[in-house]
Amino acid sequence: MRKFLYLTFSLAVIAALTTYAMWAADRPMGHYLSDLRISLAVDQGAPADHGNLLGIQPELFPTDYQSPERLHRKLAAYLQKAQAQGLLNGKTIVVLPEHIGTWLMVSGEKDELYQASSLKEAMNWLAVSNPLKFVRALISAEGGNRLDDAHLRMKAKSMAKDYQALFGGLAREFHITLVAGSIVLPEPSIVNGTLKIGRGALYNSSVVFNSDGLPIGQPQRQMYPSFAGHDAIKANSEHVLNAVDTPAGRLGVLIGRDSWDPDNYRRLDDQSVQLVAVPAFVPGHGTWDQPWRGYRGSSIPASFRLNAGDVSEGQAWRTLTLTTHAPDSRAIAGMSVFLRGHFWDQGSAGQSFLNRNGQQFANDNARGARMLNVWL
Q: Which sequence spans correspond to the domains of the chain?
A: 35-103+159-375
CB count within 10 Å of CB 229 equals: 19
pLDDT at residue 21, rounded to an integer: 46
> If pLDDT is split at 50, 70 and 90, which confidence band does 322 have?
confident
User: Do 217 and 242 form a contact (C-beta atoms < 8 A)?
Assistant: yes
Asked if residue 162 has pLDDT above 70, the reply is yes
The CB density around residue 160, as the number of other CB atoms within 10 Å, is 22
CB 205 within 8 Å of CB 234: no
Q: Amino acid identity of 207?
A: V
Tell me how crowded residue 373 is: count the other CB atoms within 10 A of its CB: 24
Partner residues linked to 203 by β-bridges = 185
Q: Which residue has the higher pLDDT, 251 or 239?
A: 251
- Residues 219-241: tens digit of each pLDDT: 999 998 875 445 788 888 888 89
> Mind listing the pLDDT tens digit for each residue in 98-141?
999 999 999 999 999 999 999 999 999 999 999 999 999 899 88
Mean pLDDT is lowest, of 11-20, 246-255, 291-300, 333-342, for: 11-20
Residue 323 has pLDDT above 50, yes or no: yes
- Asked whether the predicted pLDDT for residue 16 surpasses 50, the reply is no
Closest Cα to residue 248, out of 106, 373, 132? Answer: 373
CATH 3.60.110.10 fits 35-103+159-375, yes or no: yes
Residue 5 or 124, more confident: 124
Partnered with residue 251 across adjacent β-strands are 244, 275
Whether residue 345 is predicted with pLDDT greater than 60 in this model: the reply is yes
> For residue 267, what pLDDT is reported?
94
pLDDT in the model for residue 240? 87
| Closest listed residue to residue 50, CA positions, set 246, 244, 248 | 248
Spatial CA neighbour of 170 closest among 103, 69, 89, 72: 72
